[in-house]
Amino acid sequence: MSLWFRLVRVRFKERLKISIFGKFRVRFILLTMVTLLCLFSHSAGAAKLELVKEDAFLVAEGGNLIIESSGDVWVTVVKNSRVKIAIFANDRAVKELDFKVEQRLNDVKIWTEEKDEGGSLNFNKVAIKYKIEVPEKYNIEIDTSGGDVDISGLAGNIDIETAGGDVDVREIIGQIKVQSAGGDLLFKETKGDIEISSAGGDVHSEDFDGDVNISSMGGDLNLSGSNGKIKISTAGGDVDVLYFGRNKGISISTAGGDVTLEIPQDFEADVVLRAVVGSIESEFDLETNQNNWLPTGSMEGEINGGGAEVTCHTAAGDVTLRRLSS
């Protein structure tokens, strides 16, 4: 490669990175504001929380736990047909909020209402925590303006919408859907499809079994699992995927960050690897294509006779395709 082309490549790379990251600067500023809001919320939670309400309801399998409130939520499974609720809050929350709990058939709903509707509630000074026990086969719907969510051991569907806070979901059999404005997301030992929309925060999914669909504005993504179709689109952050099992299709795209994909030696796929600016490496035999005028490259080809399409694309970063070590 000529010295002139190398200089053009370096300058193009610098300008592209400035353009890409400048484009999302406002969004990351908004994400920072959300993060600070969460930190203020957690500092409010440092005040002593006291038990303010308890309830228990007999339910049948397949019902729904619905939570519409800010605060941390901790859900565990018990081997009976009962939903048990314990609500903890600080003095400010008790002063300004009414805690509502209602059963409708097999569903249980929890929400809060302001005592003074004309007042101005400062959520930074409100701290709430929910500790809830549910039957093993039960569904969870959570809509929170802020707070961490922890769910484990469930055989049911999970739907979480949060304006900020970490989400920790483990040992789940069922569909998982999460919409997050900010906070890290952790999924471990899940069997069922996962759908994630995140404005920012890292995503870690370990031992997934099912389709994975992730759309993220920023944060690193680290996934390992099998038996699913994978679709990942992110505006910024590194993406690392370790996949084993049958190929059902993989699509990974990032505007800024490295992409690393590890697949089995006998994986059957039609592969396309692209990097607008950055290097491309493959431990499988693929044909290399290089643009003579722009620092854009690609690798393409069939492995093990071809199969479902596997695409990895980055606008500014490196792409690496590796054989899964045995």
Distances (CA, A) of 171 to 153, 184, 186: 5, 18, 11
Structure tokens at 163: 């304006």
Q: Judge whether 197 lies within some domain.
A: yes
Residue 11 host element (H or E): helix 3-23
Q: Judge whether 312 lies within some domain.
A: yes
Nearest by Cα to 185 from 229, 157, 225, 151 = 151
> Which pLDDT score, from 0 to 100, does residue 26 have?
40
Report helix, strand or coil for 241.
Answer: strand
Q: Judge whether 79 lies within some domain.
A: no
Range of the domain at 256: 184-323
What DSSP character marks residue 118? T
Residue 25 host element (H or E): helix 25-45
Structure tokens at 82: 């009962």
CA atoms of 113 and 142, how far apart (whole Å): 16
**Which amino acid is it at 261?**
L
CA atoms of 26 and 24, how far apart (whole Å): 6
Structure tokens at 288: 């290399």
Q: Judge whether 16 lies within some domain.
A: no
Burial class (CB in 10 A: 0-12, 13-18, 19+), 271: buried
> Which pLDDT score, from 0 to 100, does residue 273 have?
96
Distances (CA, A) of 43 to 47, 99, 123, 183: 8, 22, 11, 16
Largest CA distance in the chain: 75
Q: Judge whether 148 lies within some domain.
A: no
Nearest by Cα to 40 from 185, 172, 147 = 147
Domain count, the chain: 1
> Which pLDDT score, from 0 to 100, does residue 48 have?
87
Burial class (CB in 10 A: 0-12, 13-18, 19+), 310: buried
Length, in residues, of the chain: 326
Q: Judge whether 155 lies within some domain.
A: no
Structure tokens at 124: 């930074």
For each of the chain's 326 residues, which pLDDT tens digit applies?
444 334 444 444 454 444 444 444 444 444 555 455 545 444 444 468 999 999 999 999 999 999 999 999 999 999 999 999 999 999 999 999 999 999 999 999 999 999 876 555 666 688 999 999 999 999 999 999 889 999 999 999 999 999 989 999 999 999 999 999 989 999 999 999 999 999 989 999 999 999 999 999 999 999 999 999 999 999 999 999 999 989 999 999 999 999 999 999 999 999 999 999 899 999 999 988 766 545 568 999 999 999 999 999 999 999 999 999 86
> Which pLDDT score, from 0 to 100, does residue 268 have?
97
CA atoms of 295 and 101, how far apart (whole Å): 60
